[in-house]
Structure 1
Amino acid sequence: MSPNRRDVLRGLGLAALATPLAACATTGRSAAPTPTVTAAATSAANPLGVNAASPLEVVIFSGGNGDKYAVDLHEAAYSKTYPQSKLKHVGTQKVGTQLRPRFISGDVPDVVNNSGPEALDLQALVQEGQLADLTPLFEAPSLAFPDKKVIDTLVGGVYENSLIDGVPRVLQYTVGHRALWHNAKLFESKGWQLPRTWDEFNALGEEAKKAGIALFAYPGQVGPFYQVWNLVYTAAKIGGNKVIIDIDNLADGAWTAEPVRQAVAAWAQIQKDFGDKAYFGLDHTQTQVKHLQDKVLFYPCGSWLENEMAKEKPDTFEYAIAPVPSVTGTDAMPYEAIFVGVAEAFFVSAKGKNPQGGLEYLRIMLSKEGARGYTEQTRNLTVVNGVVDGLNLTSAVNSAAKAQEAAGKNIITDARFETWYKELFDYSQTQTNSVMAGRITADQFCENMQKKADELKNDSSISKQTRSV
């Protein structure tokens, strides 16, 4: 992964893979009304009321995943179900450039994969009534698990991230994971079990020390934000996602809250007892090579790690993911809770010619065949739980899928202050290095971070953001 791509993922927190353009999506004049087809009567076989003969147009961002998956899987399945429908496929790397004039004129496609550097401004589209309400989709019977509603088959966070002004408008289709990566083959050869509690984590640290292995490391240069994530997500496990929401909202005392202090103190202790200060001088690639050499047991990172290190990975190494161990006996979230960030936005045009067909297209994407096929083709997990069993996937993808399924709805939310307040996020990296190196205490870390957050909160020149979930 290049530094530019890394910076993009870091800045976006894997919550979305596209940044809206600063300009409004459809400035200049309102879109002309577009007549839609009459919906068909709903039934068990057609819960969304799709008119079988109505055409459907699908626009797919043809980026790193290409657009072949859409043609081969989702569009093929839609055409098989509705053979009378004329389906038009458009692949593009310039979503905004290609679609903005069409939204102005009123000639809009039915389904849009709104990703890439030229993604449309969703808030602007909502203000103009362009995005369909996805409630019927979420409430419809799942094609993957017919005894469940679609919403009940999805990883936690999907519905919350679909909301714009309180209404579900966007389907995020893929997931990325951040937790502790380790070598499953090493654990097997040593007969070690993954630690579920902090006491077990410390006990494993003693065993690893005897074997000449650092229990944990992160890159102090070009990568300290990995440990910032780790601290914040651990605090959320202790105190619940409200910890992160308060941090993002610049709430009074958010950084000095007890869950944050406990998380920082716990990780500083691990570094002091079982870490190696040499890693403070290494960048991410150097640290990850040490990890592949089994000189580091656990490494905090995202699920791109396997692809990033594919050329360096020896056959003796098998990437696997593990949740952060429970810090206290009263953590708000269970051991299984991990960060799962949803991404790859799709929406249905409210003023399209076939919004019912657009909703059905998304339902097909969330079917077992649609989700499994996508993962098989792109090596990316989708937001549908329990559909990849038996696929021949890489060790990292398989491990992440199992961890995601085990977590269920216990998903740690993304920390948005990293994009909302870059100055605060940059400061958190220097403070993280300081506390992990023992130059300041956990209490001092929390006080310093709170002081910086308060400075930004009281600075009227800085635009403030808020979130409720």
Structure 2
Amino acid sequence: MTKIPSGWSRRNFLRGALATGTLVLPGSSVLIGCATSGGGQEQTEGKVSDDNPLAVPVDQPIEIYIFKGGFGDDYATQIHEPMYKKRYPKAEIKHKAEVDIAGALQSRFVAGNPPDFVNDSGDGVIPLGQLVDDKQLYDLTDLLDAPSWDDPNVKVRDTMIPAAIEEGTFGQTPYVLNMAMTIYGLWYNKTLFDKNSWAPPTTWAEMTELCKEIKAAGIAPWTYPGVHARYMTWPLLTMAAKLAGEQVLIDIDNLKENAWKHEALKESAAALAGLKTSGYILEGTEGMDHIQAQGAWSAGKAAFVPCGSWLESEQSDATPKEGFEFAYLPEPALSEDGALPKETLRAAPGEPYIVPAAAKNPRGGLEYMRIMLSKEGAQGFTKELSSLTVVKGAADGLELSPGLVSAQEALGKADDNVINWRYQTWYATMWNPGINAHMGDLLAGRTKVDEFLDACEGEAKKVRDDDSITKYER
């Protein structure tokens, strides 16, 4: 089970800041304390102009860290960084791709010497809520209120879907840019389903009947990343919300007492646990990471895999070129008459990018984000990664991949019935290893449904009772 990197406690961050004599006011260029060779950095700004509304120091280097996971880093080196270099030819771009962002940058954050721009993603993610609590992130308000790259009469915030700004806001302050518009659900090979005349299920009753057929055909109905069981919390919560309404998710986010013991969550957990007891999960799944589980699915060993809409990009090199077509399916409804329509799905801005508060060139970091949010930057992101973005209309006219078309069509059918939750962003340890570890135990048959829900409620109680943790509500 993936663990939160050691050392990311509030005390450790503050201890590191005090030791170096640096405390930074997020969203400003003011450095409290003096810059030293052991940590703090002098922050510089350029002159405001029509071409430079964010006062980027035009001849200062910018240091960029990109998570090299399913998205790779070509989108940065081939699209966004060249755009920055064209606008600021005197600025040196220091690019670094890392698999373990926390491992690479933990000591630098503590020392007050972080890079200027970070793609904070992957299993080595730095907990965003902790970074916010420790005042380690730069306020993005200036970016959102700046003129957009394409039209000086339109603010950056008005080019984005509102949910993107909401997702990156803690309290009243925006700290995180989530660039990818991710659609979550189940994925299947349409070619395989068409060949066997299997209809994608819309209810759990249909799912269980189809699983019987799939198993009889010699294929495991389901697989999932057993090492990262959080992938299965997505259908758990989505199906519960479809059954009882979005308030179930709001109560979880707001740490309401006994929120995890709601009857809808019990039914959802029982349905997923039943996949194990019915023999519908691919043998060995419990020990697989996401690459292994998705690889087994791509190889036709399993019919369904839960994932976000980055799957097609992540599996591009591992999926057969013939006889395979990515297709998306919202999680089936537990009941024909649930509180939300069957078309309801989870979609959320994801793939977070941040500008550290103690960055030497934070204005350059903001400008890099402004470039990403341009039409050219967003379309390049979609073309390169087969991922929708949070920029309004950026995908219009683009030729999208089959899986992305499938997911986008489902998003259209869902209309306003799009759900999401925030606890995993707000409360990192509650999410991982907390709830995720308990999900793994449930699906492996090590715990029963009631024990699972009690354990999840226990994780929420730890956060609820800890006065050192900042609480958020929606």
Global fold match (TM > 0.5)? yes
Provide the C-alpha distance between the structure 1 equivalents of 2:361 and 2:177, rounded to a whole number of angstroms: 19
Kept in 1, the 8 Å contact 2:349–2:390? The answer is no
Aligned to 2:284: 282
Q: Which runs of 5+ in 1 are unaligned?
A: 1-6, 13-17
Q: Deviations over 1:51-76 (max 9, x none)?
A: 48744542211442665543542243
Alignment of 1:190-339 (within 5 A): 194-196=200-202, 201=206, 205=210, 208=213, 212=217, 216-218=221-223, 226-247=231-252, 250-264=255-269, 271=275, 276-277=278-279, 279=281, 281-283=283-285, 291-292=297-298, 296-303=302-309, 305-306=311-312, 307=314, 310-311=317-318, 313=320, 315-328=322-335, 329-332=337-340, 335-339=343-347
Aligned partner (choices 160, 167, 171) of residue 166 of structure 2: 160
| Residue 430 of structure 2 corresponds to residue 420 of structure 1 | yes
Kept in 2, the 8 Å contact 1:216–1:298? The answer is yes
Sort the Cα spacing of 1:330 and 1:86 in 2 relative to 1 into closer, same or farther, 3 A: same
Provide the C-alpha distance between the structure 2 equivalents of 1:220 and 1:121, rounded to a whole number of angstroms: 21
Q: Match of 1:87, SS? A: coil
Amino acid at match of 1:60: I
- Residue correspondences, number: 433
Alignment of 1:170-189 (within 5 A): 170-174=176-180, 176-189=182-195
Q: Match of 2:437, SS? A: helix
Q: Deviations over 1:373-404 (max 9, x none)?
A: 23434555544354345656654455445556
Aligned to 2:101: none
Aligned to 2:63: 59
Compute the TM-score of the two structures, normalised by the length of structure 1.
0.69
Q: Percent identity?
A: 27
Sort the Cα spacing of 1:100 and 1:66 in 2 relative to 1 into closer, same or farther, 3 A: farther
Deviation of 1:365 (Å): 0.6
Q: Match of 1:420, SS? A: helix
Q: Deviations over 1:410-436 (max 9, x none)?
A: 24235527842635543343334559x
Q: Match of 2:260, SS? A: coil
Amino acid at match of 2:322: D
Deviation of 1:141 (Å): 5.7
Amino acid at match of 1:259: A
Amino acid at match of 2:17: T
Alignment of 1:358-373 (within 5 A): 358-373=365-380
Kept in 2, the 8 Å contact 1:113–1:347? The answer is no
Provide the C-alpha distance between the structure 1 equivalents of 2:193 and 2:150, rounded to a whole number of angstroms: 34
Deviation of 1:370 (Å): 0.6
Sort the Cα spacing of 1:207 and 1:225 in 2 relative to 1 into closer, same or farther, 3 A: same
Q: Deviations over 1:342-376 (max 9, x none)?
A: 12322265885673x54343122111211222343
| Residue 448 of structure 2 corresponds to residue 448 of structure 1 | no
Provide the C-alpha distance between the structure 1 equivalents of 2:158 and 2:266, rounded to a whole number of angstroms: 35
Sort the Cα spacing of 1:139 and 1:185 in 2 relative to 1 into closer, same or farther, 3 A: farther
Provide the C-alpha distance between the structure 2 equivalents of 1:97 and 1:405, rounded to a whole number of angstroms: 44
Sort the Cα spacing of 1:407 and 1:36 in 2 relative to 1 into closer, same or farther, 3 A: farther
Q: Deviations over 1:444-464 (max 9, x none)?
A: x2x434433455566799857
Which range moves more in the overlay, 124-133 or 151-160? 124-133
Amino acid at match of 1:230: P
Deviation of 1:167 (Å): 0.6
Sort the Cα spacing of 1:100 and 1:70 in 2 relative to 1 into closer, same or farther, 3 A: farther
Aligned partner (choices 22, 39, 48) of residue 30 of structure 1: 22
Aligned to 2:442: 431
Kept in 1, the 8 Å contact 2:176–2:354? The answer is yes
Provide the C-alpha distance between the structure 2 equivalents of 1:163 and 1:215, rounded to a whole number of angstroms: 41
Amino acid at match of 2:261: T
Q: Which runs of 5+ in 2 are unaligned?
A: 24-30, 33-41, 99-103
Compute the TM-score of the two structures, normalised by the length of structure 2.
0.69
Sort the Cα spacing of 1:389 and 1:325 in 2 relative to 1 into closer, same or farther, 3 A: farther
Sort the Cα spacing of 1:50 and 1:461 in 2 relative to 1 into closer, same or farther, 3 A: closer
Which range moves more in the overlay, 397-406 or 132-141? 397-406
Provide the C-alpha distance between the structure 1 equivalents of 2:249 and 2:407, rounded to a whole number of angstroms: 22
Q: Match of 1:137, SS? A: helix
Q: Deviations over 1:63-121 (max 9, x none)?
A: 426655435422433454x45x73231123544555765x46xxx86545456788878
Q: Deviations over 1:156-185 (max 9, x none)?
A: 753233223431022133455531111122
Q: Match of 1:26, SS? A: helix
Kept in 2, the 8 Å contact 1:157–1:411? The answer is no
Amino acid at match of 1:373: G
Kept in 1, the 8 Å contact 2:120–2:351? The answer is no
Provide the C-alpha distance between the structure 2 equivalents of 1:367 and 1:338, rounded to a whole number of angstroms: 25
Amino acid at match of 2:346: I
Amino acid at match of 2:83: A
